[in-house]
Amino acid sequence: MNAAIDYFTHSVIIDDIVFHDGRTLMGVLGGGGPQTAFGMKLWTQGRVGLCGGVGLDFPAEAQAWLDEMGIDTTGLRRDPEHRSLRAWQIIEEDGRRTQVMRSQGATIPTHLALRPEQVPAAYWSARGFHFGIHPESPNLRIMQALQSHGIMVSVEPFREASRPLTDAELRALLTSCELFSPNLVEAETLVGSGEPMALIRRLTDAGAGIVALRMGAEGSLVHRAATGETHHIPAVKTSVVDPVGAGNAYCGALLVGWLETGNLRLAGLYAAVAASFLVEQYGLPAPRSNLRIEAARRLAEIEGEPIIC
């Protein structure tokens, strides 16, 4: 019997990166789930799991990274009929990125599906779950099933909304999770343009409990509707190579920080630190023994006082 999982996430895609000068970086582990799991693992001693569909061709290097990070992969479904999801990531000289899915047909919905019966038994006692959604077609079934088991659900949009949501659709989405973390553009496609706090107020008026509004180099705003508290979280100063995956890591760390400390500002700082590791390279940070030591150093730097882990 597998040991119980404390936190888990979802979605795996293998990225094949093509740079403007013809260089390539093939087989990079991505898709949102691994980046989220990294953010979770950085701040918890608990067990972190990953769900999703992969093929029998899932790269050994990708599995090795997950193993070295101590991320449970019981939730990865190995499909003999569908190859692992892959996407071209085309990087222009100015940093613009275009994603082109290499996988086609039934492979995409098969691997990106997450139904209650696909969640391993050991994951149902988790404290928290985070994943990304398409705003106009969120997986409310899994969100509500997890909530009914006492699991805190955290959600981020994977992209801006492709159409306006009705009031009922927006409320259904925001009340099916406890934490909601869009970036500025995603938030504006949901509730209209405005200043950051205006966006947050509209989201909480529609039912959101905790909103973490991500603003890139300007940091983020974390707000809790029940208390009215709002905290500005600065971005960690570091060398930015590629921002992809930073939002995922942010959300994973925010969820862990909130559940383990009950301190919204500290959870936001955890999130900012986790995001800083993702922007420093293409793909995921290499597993190394001093990750948590470096995380504590960065945390102390942005909080302004020493932190003991």
Q: How far is CA 208 from CA 91, 140, 165, 196, 203, in A?
A: 35, 15, 15, 15, 6
Total domains present in the chain: 1
**Cα dihedral: 67, 69, 71, 74 (round 10):** -10
| Contact status, residue 181 vs residue 210, Cβ threshold 8 Å | no
Domain harbouring 274, CATH code: 3.40.1190.20
Backbone angles phi, psi at 2, to 5 degrees: -75, 145
Q: Mean pLDDT, 10 residues at a time, over the chain (309 residues)?
A: 90 96 95 98 98 98 98 98 96 89 95 98 98 97 98 97 95 98 97 98 98 97 98 97 96 99 98 98 96 97 61
Strand partners, 30: 13
22 found inside a domain: no
Position of tokens 């955290």?
154
Supply the range of the domain harboring residue 201: 7-11+32-82+107-303
DSSP H or E run through 51: strand 48-55
Q: What tokens appear for 188 in the block?
A: 């504006």
Residue 220 burial class via C-beta count within 10 angstroms: exposed 0-12, middle 13-18, buried 19 and up = buried
What is the CA 244 to chain-centroid distance, rounded?
11
Give the per-residue pLDDT at 234: 97
213 found inside a domain: yes
Residue 123 burial class via C-beta count within 10 angstroms: exposed 0-12, middle 13-18, buried 19 and up = buried
CA neighbor of 226 nearest in space, from 253, 251, 213, 207: 207
24 found inside a domain: no
In the three-class reduction of DSSP (H, G, I as helix; E, B as strand; rest coil), residue 218 is classed as helix
Q: How far is CA 277 from CA 66, 92, 224, 280, in A?
A: 16, 22, 26, 6
**Cα dihedral: 219, 221, 222, 223 (round 10):** 180
CA 141/CA 174 separation, integer angstroms = 13
249 found inside a domain: yes
Question: Is this structure's pTM higher than 0.85?
Answer: yes
124 found inside a domain: yes
100 found inside a domain: no
| Contact status, residue 251 vs residue 241, Cβ threshold 8 Å | no
Give the per-residue pLDDT at 1: 56
181 found inside a domain: yes
2 found inside a domain: no
CA neighbor of 31 nearest in space, from 302, 284, 297, 290: 284
Give the per-residue pLDDT at 143: 98
Identity of the residue numbered 209: G
